[in-house]
A and B are shown apart, each in its own frame.
Chain A
Amino acid sequence: MAGTGKAHLRDGDKVLSIEDLVVEFKVSRNKTVKAVSGISFDVLRGETLGIVGESGCGKSTTGRAIMQIPPPTSGSIVFEGNELTELSHTKVREARTQVQMIFQDPVSSLNPRRSVRDSVLEPLEIWSRGTKEERSRLVDEILESVGIDPDRAAESKPHQFSGGQCQRISVARALVLDPTLIICDEPVSALDVSVQAQVLNLLEDLKKKFGLTLVFIAHDLAVVKNISDRVAVMYLGKLCEIASSDDLYARPAHPYTNVLLDSIPEPDPEADHSVGKIIGEPPSPVAPPSGCRFHPRCAYATDICSQEEPQLRSMGDDHFVACHHPVETPVALS
């Protein structure tokens, strides 16, 4: 897998450009674990990049590193032409107004003691934007555009709303500062299926309306495919494959991507529900395997896979994979 593969980086109007991102955490006195081990990617204006992977792959950490919470151990994060890692604390705070985040737990994302409308008003107050009337109007407008009644919002606290509504309120709060980029960290994972659809549709609509760029982090591949233009697959802190959504699902090249797709339970009894060719348990990020990190569980692994880390190579059509033996004739989805 690519630790230092940049073949997939593009030219163009880039809102975000990440290079060689490394995020380390201290686990105990002497041990550190690298949640993210050197990934690079970029996001063009108006694009939705989906980042997908299972637990321990580092996708959430990546999202938070972009927000500098916590700041990454090394690597470069260029947002709208500014190198975030070199900015002073104050400048980083200012940059935050342009990059917002939506979290997984809808209810815990809101202060339980405050009315929901106040929570949405908060960012405007922090940055003293506009007059009191202007702020009030803006908040009401945005609440309406996410489908929440502003009057009800003014008198109700988060626990009086459902999970889906709380999530929409969080979206409203993220929009109020008119950001360029919104990072969505598993925003629908905690919601019921029918509510999930509401929030996904809402994000698509708002993206068009406000001209947003999104980074959508999730473990549910079908959800990610639905909302993303481009999808990156991560495994154990590394990037395995990156391609346009339709292409990734039609022609998955990396064995891990293939296994991932095979494992998804499709709501179709006629589909083949037997397990794809994956072996064993995900290893711990503390002691990752040598060479290609996926090799111990890969059905196609050979010697080189345990010795040399594969770099991202082009498969054509803006489709890149980090593998010594990409699936040449990938399984096309029925």
Chain B
Amino acid sequence: MSTATDDTVNTIGTDDETIQANAEGAAAKRTLGVGFWIAAVWIGIVFFAAAFAPWLPFKDPDANYIQPGERPPYPPSMSHPFGTDQDARDILARTAFGGRVSLTVGLVAIAMGMFFGGLMGILAGYFRGWWDRIFSFIFIILLSFPSLVLAILITSLLERSLRTISLTLGILTIAPVGRVARATTISFTEREFVLAARTLGAKNGRIIIRELLPNVVIPMSALALLGMGVAVVAEAGLAFLGLSVEKGPTWGKVILTGAGSRDLQKYPWIALIPIIVLFFTVLALNFAGDRIRSYFDAKETAL
């Protein structure tokens, strides 16, 4: 455990910052915190339910469980913990199966973002010059592109499948993650350990992979988790426009089913329950991303 002081003189950071920051902040942030683990558990549950939905004891999400004598929708009960929608489809099952789509979309989005965005961002930040000009230009274009228009374009030209929706949102994640990667790379490249690696004879490729990547990956991941939340919400938004995946439930579609004003008043559970699941999932992703960022940040400033 590092002591609260060290012997570097003020030219690096002011003395009082060192003492106070080390004493208070770094010590406090040395763990990820209880909140992080709660968020992680929730995310874990949701992912597990979605991933293994076909093998878990959920009801069939597309089947109509009409009860004789009563008209759907049915409120939450023992046989339908989340209730059913107007077509007597089990909401718990639809939420679980819907998670498969929504979370896949989210994962693909961040995977694309981190891979392509990260690649472009790191190259732009490390080499600067023409690499930077080209990639930054690409980023700007991607950011200026109205996401809705892109989504409509793609879904009308191609099919409304999981693949195309994921791709669309993936493309939209590239620029934000890429820019963070670029900025982080620039700030690390200026630090002397990168210069040291070069003087030791390391080639550029080695420097990028062994020196920069481990450092850049962390803020990128933190952002990626946030991005996943955005992608999941974006899918829900697309569903409202009728632009989401055609087959099968998604969180957006499940929410949409119960979003009519009359339905919200009389049968609130249809929309509210999936909304709550969506909300907590995105909240957990955001929170976890933030905690990761500050955990690794704090470790660095505890110099």
Direct contact, A vs B (beta carbon within 8 Å): yes
Given contacts A192-B7, A192-B9, contact A159 B302 (CB under 8 A): yes
CA distance A113 to B7 in the complex (A): 21
On whether the beta carbons of B6 and A162 are closer than 8 Å, the reply is yes
Instruction: State which residues 194-217 of A face B: CB under 8 Å.
Output: 194-195
On whether the beta carbons of B197 and A162 are closer than 8 Å, the reply is no
On whether the beta carbons of A126 and B192 are closer than 8 Å, the reply is no
On whether the beta carbons of A189 and B201 are closer than 8 Å, the reply is no
**Smallest CB–CB gap between B21 and chain A, Å?**
12
On whether the beta carbons of B299 and A69 are closer than 8 Å, the reply is no
On whether the beta carbons of A107 and B12 are closer than 8 Å, the reply is yes
Give which listed residue, A67, A103, A160, A192, contacts B8 with CB less than 8 A: A192
Contacts of B210 in A (CB 8 A): 122
Instruction: State which residues 192-242 of B face A: CB under 8 Å.
Output: 192-193, 195-203, 206, 210-211, 214-215
On whether the beta carbons of B215 and A191 are closer than 8 Å, the reply is no
On whether the beta carbons of A190 and B8 are closer than 8 Å, the reply is yes
On whether the beta carbons of A69 and B211 are closer than 8 Å, the reply is no
Asked if B266 CB lies within 8 Å of chain A CBs, one says no
CA distance A111 to B198 in the complex (A): 13
Give which listed residue, B7, B12, B199, contacts A164 with CB less than 8 A: B7
Asked if B191 CB lies within 8 Å of chain A CBs, one says yes
Instruction: State which residues 28-58 of B face A: CB under 8 Å.
Output: none
Asked if B300 CB lies within 8 Å of chain A CBs, one says yes
**Smallest CB–CB gap between A66 and chain B, Å?**
10
Size range of the chain A interface in the assembly: 35 or more
Instruction: State which residues 1-33 of B face A: CB under 8 Å.
Output: 1-2, 6-9, 11-12
Given contacts A111-B211, A126-B206, contact A96 B196 (CB under 8 A): no
Asked if A112 CB lies within 8 Å of chain B CBs, one says yes
Asked if A324 CB lies within 8 Å of chain B CBs, one says no
On whether the beta carbons of B191 and A177 are closer than 8 Å, the reply is no
Chain B interfacial positions (CB closer than 8 Å to A): 1-2, 6-9, 11-12, 191-193, 195-203, 206, 210-211, 214-215, 299-300, 302-303
Give which listed residue, B12, B193, B201, B300, contacts A123 with CB less than 8 A: B201
A-B contact pairs, 14 of them (CB 8 A): A93-B203, A96-B199, A103-B192, A103-B195, A105-B12, A105-B191, A111-B193, A111-B215, A122-B210, A123-B200, A163-B6, A190-B9, A191-B8, A192-B8
Contacts of B191 in A (CB 8 A): 105, 108
Asked if A101 CB lies within 8 Å of chain B CBs, one says yes
**Smallest CB–CB gap between B222 and chain A, Å?**
15
Given contacts A107-B8, A162-B8, contact A112 B201 (CB under 8 A): no
From A64, which residue of chain B is reached at the shortest CB distance? B195
Given contacts A159-B299, A162-B7, A190-B9, contact A96 B193 (CB under 8 A): no
Contacts of B199 in A (CB 8 A): 67, 69, 96, 99-101
Contacts of B206 in A (CB 8 A): 126
On whether the beta carbons of B9 and A191 are closer than 8 Å, the reply is yes
Given contacts A159-B2, A162-B7, contact A107 B200 (CB under 8 A): no
Across chains A and B, which 3 residue pairs bring their CB atoms closest together, nearest first? A163-B8, A162-B6, A192-B7
On whether the beta carbons of A109 and B196 are closer than 8 Å, the reply is yes
Asked if A110 CB lies within 8 Å of chain B CBs, one says yes
Asked if A170 CB lies within 8 Å of chain B CBs, one says yes
Chain A interfacial positions (CB closer than 8 Å to B): 67, 69, 93-94, 96-97, 99-101, 103-114, 119, 122-123, 126-127, 158-164, 170, 173, 177, 189-192, 194-195
On whether the beta carbons of B200 and A100 are closer than 8 Å, the reply is yes
From A94, which residue of chain B is reached at the shortest CB distance? B201
Given contacts A163-B8, A190-B8, contact A108 B192 (CB under 8 A): yes
Given contacts A109-B193, A173-B196, A173-B200, 17 further A-B contacts (CB under 8 A): A94-B201, A103-B192, A112-B193, A112-B300, A114-B214, A122-B197, A122-B210, A126-B202, A159-B303, A162-B8, A163-B9, A163-B12, A177-B200, A189-B11, A190-B9, A191-B9, A192-B8
**Smallest CB–CB gap between B279 and chain A, Å?**
34
CA distance A286 to B195 in the complex (A): 26
Contacts of A191 in B (CB 8 A): 7-9
CA distance A94 to B202 in the complex (A): 10
CA distance A107 to B11 in the complex (A): 12
- Residue with the greatest number of chain B CB neighbours at <10 A, chosen from A108, A127, A162, A173: A108
Contacts of B303 in A (CB 8 A): 107, 158-159
On whether the beta carbons of B300 and A159 are closer than 8 Å, the reply is yes
CA distance A189 to B300 in the complex (A): 21
CA distance A127 to B200 in the complex (A): 9
Give which listed residue, B7, B12, B302, contacts A195 with CB less than 8 A: B7
CA distance A297 to B9 in the complex (A): 31
Contacts of A106 in B (CB 8 A): 8
CA distance A194 to B1 in the complex (A): 23
From A159, which residue of chain B is reached at the shortest CB distance? B303
CA distance A161 to B302 in the complex (A): 10
Given contacts A126-B200, A191-B9, A192-B7, contact A105 B192 (CB under 8 A): yes
